[in-house]
Amino acid sequence: MTNKNTALITGASQRLGKEMAICLAKKGFDLVIHYNKSQAQATQLLQELKQHYNINGATIDGDLSDKSSAKKIANFMCENYPNWNLLINNSSIFKKSKFLDDLDEAFENNLAIHFTSPLYLSHFFAKNVIAKKIKNAQIINMLDKNIARNDTAYFYYLLSKKFLAEFTKMLALEVAPHIRVNGIAPGYVALETIFSTEYVEKIITKIPLQKICDTKNIVQTLEFLLENDFINGQILSIDGGASLNHAG
């Protein structure tokens, strides 16, 4: 049990989730690192953070395509971390899809992971914060700069992220002043490896700042949202201006 600032990050064993976990550990947050299949990476990350930054924490598994996992995770947090004051909904899947694809696979999985589970986690987080009068509480939803677009090869991914974006703004009103709710919408991030070098070079030519996002830019945004207690209901596009011309 701990009364320190405590964060739950979904999908935190690797990529952006891992970078945000490191950032929070440096700031003294206790951490619960959620994973689905990456148990080894999650366990190793938590051990390293405990060793280097003298924090407490745990790992927890859960397939967020099933809302029962979100309930299980929320119960674990409420029972074990009395000052759970930060929720980062970061888990994501990223697969090409078109509207006429199989609904059960394409739509349902994206909806569950990008919207339904974040909604459930946010629901139980908010009830816990208000009941226990926890201070400095915040929800941060990880989005995508392409929520500004409507034409995409990732139809159901983007649709579900748009749902999450609208939820971010509605929830910011609903749970204020107890909790601040904001979103981070990254552009193409340097650690993404699913695209070819040629494709990345093509993307760069379309981005106004002529470069791709570095993980440090996302971490800087996280720090800004943590430190500026008058930001609420905002979605910050960290994309070098790409959302202005729908690049990428």
The pTM of the full predicted model, rounded to 2 decimals, is: 0.94
pLDDT at 240: 93
Sorting pLDDT into bands at 50, 70 and 90, what band is 247?
low
Average pLDDT over residues 92-101: 92
Cβ proximity of 57 and 30 under 8 Å = yes
Of 191, 193, 170, 190, the closest CA to residue 182 belongs to 170
User: What is residue 192's predicted lDDT score, i.e. its pLDDT?
Assistant: 60
Please state, in angstroms and rounded to a whole number, the distance separating the CA atoms of residues 12 and 165.
Answer: 20
pLDDT of the residue at 148? 92
The domain that contains 224 carries what CATH number? 3.40.50.720
Give the C-alpha separation, 129 to 144, whole Å.
27
Euclidean distance between CA atoms 222 and 183, whole angstroms: 10
Res 248 pLDDT > 60: no
Per DSSP bridges, beta strands 235-238 and 6-9 are unpaired
Q: What angle do CA 3, 1, 19 make, to 5 degrees?
A: 70
Burial class (CB in 10 A: 0-12, 13-18, 19+), 191: middle
DSSP state of 191: T
Beta pairing partners, 35: 61
The Cα angle at residue 170 between residues 149 and 62, in degrees rounded to 5: 80
Cβ–Cβ under 8 Å, residues 178 and 198: no
Closest CA to 242 of 191, 194, 188, 192: 188
The pLDDT value recorded for residue 82 is 94
In a domain, 1, yes or no: no
Q: Give me the pLDDT at residue 194, please.
A: 62
46-90 per-position pLDDT tens digit: 999 999 999 999 999 999 999 999 999 999 999 999 999 999 999
- Residue span of the structural domain in which 203 resides: 6-245
pLDDT one-digit tens code per residue, 170-214: 999 999 999 999 999 999 887 666 677 887 888 899 899 999 889
Question: Is 231 inside any structural domain?
Answer: yes
Q: How high does pLDDT run on average in the chain?
A: 93
Whole-angstrom distance, CA of residue 142 vs CA of residue 218: 10
* Tens digits of residue pLDDT in 130-169: 999 999 999 999 999 999 999 889 999 999 999 999 999 9
Count Cβ atoms below 10 Å from residue 98 Cβ, excluding itself. 11
Give burial (CB, 10 Å; 0-12/13-18/19+) of 53.
middle
pLDDT in tens, 3-33: 789 999 999 998 999 999 999 999 999 999 9
For the record, the structure tokens of 121 come out as 């986690």
Helix or strand or coil: residue 70?
A: helix
- pLDDT for residue 245: 83
pLDDT-based confidence at 105, cuts 50/70/90? confident
**Hey, what's the torsion of the CAs at 218, 224, 226, 231, to 10 degrees?**
-120
- Looking at residue 25, its amino acid is A
What is the number of structural domains in the chain? 1
Q: Are the C-beta atoms of residues 73 and 89 closer than 8 Å to each other?
A: no
State the pLDDT at residue 189.
84
HEC per residue, 171-184: HHHHCCCCEEEEEE
Q: How confident is the model at residue 239 (pLDDT cuts 50, 70, 90)?
A: very high
